[in-house]
A and B are shown apart, each in its own frame.
Chain A
Amino acid sequence: MAVQTQPAAIELKNVTKRFGEVVANDRINLTLRKGEILSILGENGSGKTTLMNMLSGIYFPDEGEIIVNGQEVTIRSPKDAFALGIGMIHQHFKLINILTAAQNIILGLDGPAQLDMKKIREDIKALADQYGFELDPDRKIYDMSVSEKQTVEIVKVLYRGADILILDEPTAVLTPQETERLFQVLRNMKKDGKSIIIITHKLNEVMEISDRVTVLRRGQYIDTVETASTDENQLTEMMVGEHITLDIERTEPVDPHRRIDVRGLTVRNREGLKVLDNVSFVAKSGEILGIAGISGSGQKELLESIAGLQPGESGQILYKDPQGNVEELTQKTAKQIYDMNIRLSFVPEDRLGMGLVGDMDLTGNMMVRSYKKGKGFFVNRRQPRELAEDIVNRLDVVTPGITTPVRNLSGGNVQKVLVGREIAASPAVLMVAYPVRGLDINSAFAIYRLLNEQKEKGAAVLCVGEDLDVLIQLCDRILVLSEGCVSGIVDARKTTKEELGLLMTSGRKKASRETVKENPQNGAVSTGAAAAGSKEAGHGRD
C-alpha cells in the first residue's frame, strides 16, 4: 500500500450491480490515484464496462460507495459525472456525423446564444496542443478515421473540464501506430495531473501504458498489482482463473474429412480496416472446431464470409461435400449457396437481427430455412409447424404457444428456437456464434449435447465461444483469432487457458503469416507458424 498524501481521485467500496439474477459486479473495490494510469483487465463479461458505467452515470449501483476526491458522491446521470470532472470515452462514439469536430465538442453545453466559433476553435486548438493531439476542429466527423473520431471524443471530455478520464477499450479500433500516438497523449495527460482509467484486454498494452493493473473476473474483484512488479503470464493467470471442469462429454472425431477450406481470406469493414487478415484454416467433418478470441477479432466476419453474407476482399473458401466433390463458396451469396444444395447452417450472434424474424411466430421462423421447399407458389406451413412443436418439446422452450412472436420470448428460449431450427436441417456444416450466451446451465448443456450430436453425425461444427473452459472441453481443435489474424490453431485436449489467453492477446504482429499445414492423420492440426507464434507469445516477454 502506497502512502497517500492526498485523497485518491476515485475510490470504489463494495460496489455491487445486479441485472435481474445476474450479478455483474460483486462488491468491487478499486482505487484510482491522482495522476496515474490504471488498467482494468478482464475477459469479456468480467464486468469492466458495467463498473465504469456506474462512474459515468449510466448505471446506478445497487450497493456500495463511490468516493471522488475524498468525498462520497451520488452519480445519477452523465451530467452529474461531468460535474465531478469524470469523463468517459465509450467504445461506441456518440458523435453527430455531419457536424464538425468543434461543433461536436461543444454540443449540449450552455453558453451564449450566438456561437463564437473562432474562440471555440482556439480553445480546442489550445487543448490539442497542450496534450499533443492532432485535430482539425473544422473537419466533419464523416471525413474522419476511427482514431480521429476517438480524438474528438477525448477532447470533448477534456473541454468539459474532466480531470478523471475513463477509456473503454480505446485501442480496439486503432492501428498500432494510432495506438502509439494515443498512448503518448495519455502520458502527456498524466504528466498534467489527470487521472486515467483504461479498460483493455491486451496485455502488451497494459504492460506498456499503465502504472497499476486491476483485474476483474466474472464480476469479481481479483487483485490490483503494480505493473512494474508483474508480467504477462501472471496477469493472464489472474484474468482467466483456475481451470474449471464442466463434465462435457467429448467423443473422439470419427473419420474426419476436410469440409471447409479457407485460404488466405481477407475482409475489410466499411471503414476500410482489415477485420480478417489472410485467414487460413480447415474445418473437418466429425469434429468441433472452436474459435476463440477477444470479441471483435473477426469472428463474426469469418462465419458470415463462409455463410455468404460478407463479401471478402481476397482469398478462397472451398467446400468439400461428403462425396468428395469440391465446390467454391468464395463470393457466393447465401441464396447461391442454398441453390447449390449445400446444407450449411448458421446460428449468428445477432439472433433477432439476422437469424430470426422477431415479429413472426415460431412457425414463421422455422420457415426462414424451409419456405422455399416444394415446387408450388404457396408455402407449406404444416412441416414448419410440426418442427416448431418438436423443438418446443425437445428443447423445453418456454412459450405460450407456437403462435407467439419470438420477440416476446426470453433470450435463452430465442436461442433454443434458433439452434433447434438450424440443427433440424441435418447440416453438413454447422456454424454457431456464442451458442450459450444468456442461457442457464441446463439449457447450455442441452446445446452442448446438440452440438456433439451433430459432430457424431458427421457435420463440421464451427463454434465461436467466449468461455475458454467450455471451448477447451467441448471442442476438438481451437482456432484463435487475434485482431483478424489466426494466431494459432491448437489441440483442445492439450491446450491450457493460459496458452489460449496469450494467443488471444498476442496482437497482429505475432499472428501467423504462413499457410496452414495440415496433418491428415491427426484430428488436431497445428501449424508450424502458429505453434511458433504461441511459443513466442508465451516467452517473448521474459
Chain B
Amino acid sequence: MAGTKTGTKNVLHMVRRSDMNRGKALVIRLIAVLLSLSVCALVIVAITGENPLSVYSGIAAGAVGTSRRVWVTIREIAVLLIIAVGLTPAFRMRFWNLGAEGQILIGGAATAAVMIYLGPVFQDWLLFIIILAVSMAAGMLWGLLPAVFKAYFNTNETLFTLMMNYVAMQIVTFFVVLWEKPKGSNTVGVINQTGKEGWFPQIAGQQYLVNVILVTVVTILVFVYMKYSKQGYELSVVGESYDTARYAGIDVKHVIIRTMLISSAVCGLAGAIIVAGASHTISTSTAGGRGFTAVIVAWLAQFHPVAMIATSGILVFMQQGAIQIATQYGLNENASDIITGIILFFLVGAEFFIRYRLELTKVETGSAVGENK
C-alpha cells in the first residue's frame, strides 16, 4: 500500500486516577489556594500600586484586624456555611438546586414580615421561634415547586430553580416598596430599630453568637441526617442511580421531594439569619450572590463538613480583606467578587489534577490507509 508512513510523536494523555490519597489531594488544593492568593494579590497590587506585603497585611487587617471585624468575618462565614450545608442534601441526590438565592430571599422576606407585623405583638422568644418556622416554611415552598416537577415530569431542575430566584427577587422588590421607610427611599431601612423586636438576641454581649450557634446546630443536624439516618441513606442511593433505588425499595419521587424540602428549608433559614441576625433589613441584595457561591463551596467540599468550613473561611476572609482594601483606596467593594471568582477558578481547576494524571505517551502516527487519501 502506497504512502505508508509511520513515526512516533508525544501525546499528552489524561489518565484517570483510581484512588487519590487524601493527603495528596489536600496538597494539590493547598497549592491551588496559594496560587489563587498570589494572583489575587497581584491584581490588587496592579490596581492600587501598593507593595504586596502591605496588601496582605491590609487584607488580614480587614478580615481580623479588630474584634468587631473578627465577628463580622465569623458571621459571614456562618451564613455562607449554612447555605452550603443546606444545598448538600440536594447535591448528594444529584439534584442541582441553584435556587438558594431565591430560597434565602423568600425566607428573608418572611422573616421581615414577621418582624414588621408581629414584632409589636409577641414576646421576643416566641418571635424567635416564629421566625425560624416561617422562614423555613417559605424556603420550602420555593423548593417544593421544582422538586415536584422534577419528580413527576422530570423537569430540568437546574433551570427551574434558577428562574425561581428571580421570581423571588421581584417579590422582595414588591415588599421593599410596600415596607419602604422613609417613603420614597426605595429601601426598608433597619426594621424595629428602637425596640429591636424580632432581632436575634445577644448572648454574652455578642451580637452574632446566636447566628453561630444556629449554624453549628443545623450543620451538625444535617450531617448526622445525611450520614446516620435512613432518609439520608435513601437520598444517597437515589443520587447514585434511580434503578438501584427502586431495587432497594425506595420511593424515588418521595425522596426527591422530601430532600428538596429539607434543602430549601435550611436555605430559607439562612434568610432568617441574614435578616433577623445580621442586617435587620431586607433588600434584593440580601442574598447577594451567596446562594451561588455556596453552590460552589458545597460542590468543592464533596460533602465533607470540615472542607466546607475551610472553603467558606478562605473565601470570606479574602472578601472581607478585599472590602477593607477597596475602602482604603476609595474603590468599591465589588473587588471582593473578583477575588472570590479568582479563588474559585483555581479551586475548581485543581479538582482536575486530583482526578486525573497527565502522562506523556509515545504513539505511532500514520497508518497504511490513513495516508492513502
Contact = CB atoms under 8 A, between A and B. Distances in A.
A274 interface: no
B369 A368 contact: no
Given A378-B228, A378-B230, A80 B369 contact: yes
Nearest to B6: A74
Contact of B244 (A76, A338, A357, A408): A357
A369 B248 contact: yes
B50 interface: no
A348 B229 contact: no
B38 to A, nearest CB: 35
B19 A356 contact: no
B369 A83 contact: yes
Interface in B225-250: 228-234, 236-237, 240-241, 243-244, 246-250
Contacts of A307: 247
B237 A357 contact: yes
A346 B248 CA distance: 10
Nearest to A309: B246
Nearest to A358: B240
A103 B357 CA distance: 38
Contact of A309 (B229, B247, B251): B247
Interface string A295-337: 0000000000001010000000000000000000000011101
B149 to A, nearest CB: 22
Given A74-B369, A79-B370, A354 B244 contact: yes
B66 interface: no
Interface residues of A, number: 41
Contacts of A74: 367-369
B230 A379 contact: yes
A158 interface: no
Interface string A375-401: 001110100000000000000000000
B314 to A, nearest CB: 27
B185 interface: no
A161 to B, nearest CB: 12
Given A354-B243, A357-B240, A338 B249 contact: yes
A379 B229 contact: yes
Given A73-B1, A335-B249, A335-B251, A80 B244 contact: no
Interface of A: 71-77, 79-80, 83-84, 307, 309, 333-335, 337-339, 346, 348, 350, 353-360, 364, 367-369, 371-372, 377-379, 381, 408
19 contacts: A73-B368, A75-B367, A76-B367, A77-B370, A309-B247, A333-B246, A334-B247, A337-B249, A354-B241, A357-B236, A357-B240, A367-B233, A371-B233, A371-B248, A372-B230, A372-B249, A377-B231, A379-B229, A379-B233
Given A355-B244, A408-B19, 6 more contacts: A73-B368, A83-B373, A339-B249, A360-B240, A364-B236, A379-B233
Interface of B: 1, 18-19, 228-234, 236-237, 240-241, 243-244, 246-251, 367-370, 372-373
